[in-house]
Amino acid sequence: MTELELKYGCNPNQKPSKIFMKEGELPITVLNGKPGYINLLDALNSWQLVKELKEATGLPSAASFKHVSPAGAAVGLPLSDTDRKIYFVEQEGELSPIACAYIRSRGADRLCSYGDWAALSDICDADTANYLKLEVSDGIIAPGYTDEALAILRTKKKGNYNVVQIDPNYVPAQIECKDVFGVTFQQGRNNYKISRELLSNIVTANKDLPEQAAIDMMVALITLKYTQSNSVCFVKDGQAIGVGAGQQSRIHCTRLAGNKADNWYLRQHPKVLSLQFVDGIRRPDRDNAIDIYTSEEYMDVLAEGEWQKVFKVKPEVLTAEEKRSWIETQSGVTCGSDAFFPFGDNVKRAYKSGVEYIVEPGGSIRDDNVIQTADSYGMVMAFTGMRLFHH
């Protein structure tokens, strides 16, 4: 098949719409559903991310995409008991690595992952499909599906869930083009390989880079490679926990990513873990309630007549002081940036969210100030010399 007709483009008024190959066959096969224009943008970008992440780390990898940027990405490390609780894992027993990867990628920001596009580096199995079956998602791309997984996914969205299989051996042309306002843009593909060797230029006084932090740096960089710029990514234990995408100011990227990382960590606060939800509450409603409860708008779910809709027992307020104290216990976080930090304020903000490791291209006229700021916190910072803008 050389082309695939789509319902419409980014918006319903943008017709006709299709994807096609100028040469050769499409590298994808639609096994179920009818994906749209944005679905396939998410599918092809997210597939590149998980493919490269698997190649760089050797671990099964997954991503949760929304509007052409990752809400989360992760490698397939085992889930802790806390992970199972905050990600609402109902399945018993040990889960497959690829299922753990997707659960962790979606868990980075469950609000942003509502209606996501899922991407898997490995064959989709029943563990992954059973978890996806319970979540609000628009579709999935993977190099293959077990018969059981495909049967499960075909029951989603009244049989209309988008299931796309991609040829894992497909290699795109070295030159890529796109049209904007009737003008064709052309550039070489960003084939720069992200690997452990890229992290060798450690510019801070502290040069102790543990293996897990190195993996987290690669997770951050590869996630940023497919995130709309400007972008900053916070990672912990092989999982993106905060992605700040598409901001015009670097410090706003860092604040956004840091705030998301703080929210991820607040979900593990004892008061949040002990919330008692009403029976039968929908998963998105539960996510929204937690997000509001941990925010400054907590009274929206704790007011009389409102809390009864969500909770069996009215929760105590999670105070600003309790939140600050809890966030201050966060540690071992890695921060990556798709371009250099122009000021030390980015490092200061990152530190407030438990960042101990930073990876960025370097090259600012204020690199000395940025390094000095990192040194003042005892951080490890690596300069890659490689910018990762993506538009």
Instruction: Please identify which of the residues 67, 85, 252, 352 carries the catalytic annotation.
Output: 67
State the Cα–Cα distance between residues 218 and 195, nearest whole angstrom: 7
**Active-site position among 54, 66, 156, 225:** 66
In terms of Cα–Cα distance, which of 105, 122, 115 is closest to 137?
115
Q: Is 169 a catalytic residue?
A: no
Region of residue 141 (phi > 0: left; psi between -120 and 50: alpha; otherwise: beta):
beta
How far apart are the C-alpha atoms of 302 and 308, rounded to whole Å?
Answer: 8
Ramachandran angles phi, psi of 274, nearest 5°: -95, 5
> Among the options 13, 22, 158, 391, which is catalytic?
391
Q: Tokens at residue 193, please?
A: 């390989």
34 is catalytic: no
Q: Reply yes or no on whether 13 is catalytic.
A: no
Residue 46 near residue 65, CB atoms below 8 Å: yes
The 3-state DSSP class for residue 381 equals strand
d(CA 358, CA 125): 35
Is 391 designated active site?
Answer: yes
Looking only at the bridges linking them, the beta strands covering 175-180 and 28-32 are: unpaired
The first and second tokens of residue 283, run together, are 């998963």
Query: Which one is catalytic: 32, 45, 230, 346?
Result: 230
| DSSP letter (8 states) at residue 94 | P
* Separation between Cα atoms, residue 223 and residue 234, nearest integer Å: 10
Residue 378 sits at φ, ψ, to 5 deg, of 70, 25
> Tell me, what amino acid is at 193?
K
CA atoms lying within 13 Å on the CB side of residue 382: 26
For residue 179, give the H/E element and its range: strand 175-180
- Which residues participate in catalysis according to the annotation? 66-67, 230, 391
